[in-house]
């Protein structure tokens, strides 16, 4: 009973905050409305006894929104950070598409014959879920991790305007390096 | 791994935990103003100064700027105080704890990440250039201290084989973690100072930007934001006790008393250090965080992992 009330309360908060993202007229409010929505979803995951996944979802999303707010304010045209703005555009297509997807998913959730529970939940749910998702693919995932990091580093290197020759001179011998932004350890 | 028996107390005891936290926060503020008074040659006074400024801020009328986003401003300011309460919920006081969460360490980390949002919101909501500059300064500091802090939190968790705070305290019955993971301990304290916007990390509130995030805060808003900073400092100091300083272990005194003594000691050191260290410039500290602290924390994790594997 209590769990049901908490579930519905959190679900309403998650959806209402999600709607608020497109209603409010301020970029900061939109960003943090999304953060509130994610926090409610994280709490819902905790309610499913997946404490680790729930707490980590809240951690990641709050951190992400804090950084995203900076970039949104920095990069968006028409400086919507300083004047009232509208988060929506292409309204007819967007409303059509989102209504269609919602009807599809909701009818699927309501009409599908849900399976009966077999057996009992394992002792450590997070561990069991991790094994179920990863399981034998752990080696693949362990390899993909470094590849992803390498991709990020390579992307930044390719995107950066300055190369090591700009920093260290044509013979790479200039010390200290010529940086537009001085660092804290005097390199 | 040794099993720790923690008693989860009824939720009503949260009020006592809150009172203890407020007392610690007041102690930190009083100690700081006493040290200030002594440094300025004003003698032994200053211990009660925080009480007077609390009274003054409580009856001060709020002022506001045109087009301030009051909602975000108040969420940011009040959130600091609320966040510190959420943090102490998982810290065991000797044998008792409010919430024996199986992911207590991650909970602590999540609450400290909330500060990123709160300080920026308080800076943004004021609709003042000083507040905004302060908010951005804090995020820049956050980028530098947060990842080293996360990896520093990993070390005791690996050694204890658990994310439960009580297990970390229980795993130190022979040797305190601070002895064989000192790097993680120091980086943890750097992180605590960071998310408390304290001392070297107070650039967000710097006098050079007219008080930064605090510039436009007045009355109760200013009170809860400042109290929240001290409360976060106290909560962070208290969290270092089960994580690195053996929890309630110690001779003669009962366990809860040892937790209190150790917390006060760490808190006093953090407060005292404010006067000894310069404010870190956010742009410079970013490199220190990523080139010095982060590799040091990862190396510490590696050492701890090797020791754990070697000992079986």
Q: How far apart are CA B135 and CA B124, in angstroms?
A: 7
Domain assignment of residue A73, yes or no: yes
- Provide the domain count of chain A: 2
According to DSSP, the β-strands at B96-97 and B7-8 are parallel
Q: How far is CA B310 from CA B159, B181, B239, in A?
A: 12, 16, 28
Task: Check residue B29 and give left, alpha or beta (phi > 0: left; psi -120 to 50: alpha).
Answer: alpha
pLDDT in tens, A59-84: 999 999 999 988 888 777 555 556 66
Residue A32 lies in a domain: yes
List, in sequence order, the alpha helices (H) in chain B: 14-39, 49-59, 70-88, 104-125, 129-160, 165-170, 177-180, 182-195, 219-244, 255-273, 282-287, 294-311
| Domain-embedded: residue A25 | yes
Of B69, B109, B280, the CB nearest to A28: B69
Is A115 part of a structural domain of the chain? no
Question: Does A56 sit within 8 Å of B292, measured CB to CB?
Answer: no
Considering A17, A52, A83, which residue would you say is the last residue of a domain? A83
Residue A100 included in any domain: no
Place of tokens 């700081």: B32
The burial class, CB within 10 Å (0-12 / 13-18 / 19+), for B187 is buried
Nearest to A35 among B69, B106, B117 (CB): B117
Q: Positive or negative, the Cα torsion across B117, B120, B123, B128? A: negative
Question: How confident is the prediction along chain B (312 residues), in pLDDT tens digits per residue?
Answer: 445 578 888 888 999 999 999 999 999 999 999 999 988 887 777 889 999 999 999 999 988 888 888 999 999 999 999 999 999 999 999 888 898 888 999 999 999 999 999 999 999 998 899 999 999 999 999 999 999 999 999 999 999 988 999 999 988 888 899 999 999 999 999 999 999 999 999 999 988 999 999 999 999 999 999 999 999 999 999 999 999 998 888 888 898 999 999 999 999 999 999 999 999 999 889 999 999 999 999 999 999 999 999 987
Domain boundary among A83, A114, A146: A83
Interchain proximity B106–A63, CB inside 8 Å: no
pLDDT digit string (tens) for B238-271? 999 999 998 888 888 898 999 999 999 999 999 9
Distance from CA of A138 to the nearest CA of B (A): 19
Q: What angle do CA A124, A125, A126 make, to 5 degrees?
A: 95
Domain final residue, candidates A68, A83, A98: A83
Angle between helix axes B219-244 and B70-88 (nearest 10 degrees) is 30
Residue A60 belongs to some domain of the structure: yes
Percent of chain B whose pLDDT exceeds 90 = 74
Nearest chain A Cα distance for residue B209, angstroms: 19
Q: How far is A91 from chain B (nearest CA, A)?
A: 27
pLDDT in tens, B21-31: 999 999 999 99
> Which of B72, B110, B281 comes nearest A55 by C-beta?
B110
SS3 for B60? coil
Contacts of A69 in chain B (CB under 8 A): 120, 124
Q: Does A140 share its domain with A73? A: no
CA atoms lying within 13 Å on the CB side of residue A88: 13
Is residue A10 within 8 A of residue A40, CB to CB? The reply is: yes
Cβ of A67 within 8 Å of Cβ of B124? The answer is no
- Best of B110, B111, B195 to disrupt the A interface by mutation (most A CBs within 10 Å)? B110
Domain for residue A64, yes or no? yes
Give me the count of residues in chain A: 187
Residue A166 lies in a domain: yes
A97-112 tens-digit pLDDT: 999 999 999 999 999 9
Q: Which residues of A touch B106 (CB under 8 A)?
A: 52, 55-56, 59
Cβ–Cβ of A185/B286 closer than 8 Å?
no
- Kindly state whether residues A68 and A143 are assigned to the same domain: no
Across the interface, of A55, A62, A184, the residue whose CB is closest to B106 is A55
Backbone angles phi, psi at A175, to 5 degrees: -135, 135
Q: Which domain holds residue A60?
A: 1-83
């Amino acid at each position: 009973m209590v769990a049901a009330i908490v579930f519905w309360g959190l679900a309403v908060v998650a959806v209402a905050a999600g709607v608020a993202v497109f209603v409010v007229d301020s970029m900061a409010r939109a960003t943090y409305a999304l953060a509130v929505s994610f926090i409610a979803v994280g709490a819902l995951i905790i309610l499913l006894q997946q404490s680790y996944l729930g707490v980590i979802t809240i951690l990641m999303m709050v951190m992400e929104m804090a950084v995203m707010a900076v970039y949104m304010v920095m990069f968006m045209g028409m400086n919507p950070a300083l004047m009232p703005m509208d988060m929506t555009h292409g309204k007819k297509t967007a409303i059509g598409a989102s209504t269609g997807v919602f009807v599809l998913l909701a009818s699927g959730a309501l009409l599908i014959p849900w399976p009966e529970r077999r057996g009992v939940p394992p002792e450590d749910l997070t561990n069991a879920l991790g094994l179920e998702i990863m399981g034998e693919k752990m080696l693949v995932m362990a390899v993909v991790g470094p590849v992803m990091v390498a991709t990020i580093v390579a992307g930044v290197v390719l995107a950066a305007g300055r190369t090591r020759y700009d920093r260290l001179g044509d013979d790479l011998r200039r010390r200290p390096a010529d940086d537009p932004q001085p660092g804290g350890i005097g390199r | 791994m040794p099993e720790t028996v923690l008693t989860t107390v009824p939720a009503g005891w949260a009020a006592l935990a809150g009172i203890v936290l407020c007392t610690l926060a007041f102690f930190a503020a009083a100690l700081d103003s006493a040290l200030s008074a002594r440094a300025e040659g004003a003698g032994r006074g200053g211990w009660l100064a925080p009480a007077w400024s609390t009274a003054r801020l409580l009856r001060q009328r709020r002022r506001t700027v045109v087009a301030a986003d009051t909602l975000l401003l108040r969420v940011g300011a009040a959130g600091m105080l609320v966040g510190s309460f959420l943090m102490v919920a998982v810290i065991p006081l000797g044998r008792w704890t409010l919430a024996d969460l199986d992911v207590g360490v991650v909970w602590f980390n999540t609450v400290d990440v909330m500060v990123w949002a709160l300080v920026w919101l308080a800076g943004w909501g004021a609709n003042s250039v000083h507040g905004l500059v302060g908010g951005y300064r804090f995020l820049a500091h956050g980028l530098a201290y947060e990842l080293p802090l996360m990896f520093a939190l990993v070390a005791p968790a690996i050694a204890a084989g658990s994310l439960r705070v009580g297990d970390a305290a229980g795993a130190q019955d022979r040797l305190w973690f601070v002895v064989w993971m000192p790097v993680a301990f120091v980086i943890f304290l750097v992180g605590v100072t960071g998310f408390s916007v304290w001392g070297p990390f107070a650039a967000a509130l710097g006098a050079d930007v007219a008080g930064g995030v605090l510039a436009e805060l007045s009355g109760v808003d200013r009170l809860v934001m400042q109290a929240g900073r001290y409360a976060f400092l106290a909560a962070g100091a208290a969290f270092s006790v089960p994580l690195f300083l053996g929890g309630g272990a110690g001779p003669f005194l009962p366990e809860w008393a040892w937790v209190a003594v150790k917390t006060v000691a760490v808190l006093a050191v953090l407060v005292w250090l404010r006067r000894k260290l310069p404010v870190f410039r956010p742009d410079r500290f970013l490199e220190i965080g990523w080139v010095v602290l982060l590799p040091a924390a990862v190396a510490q994790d590696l050492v701890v992992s090797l020791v754990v594997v070697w000992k079986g």
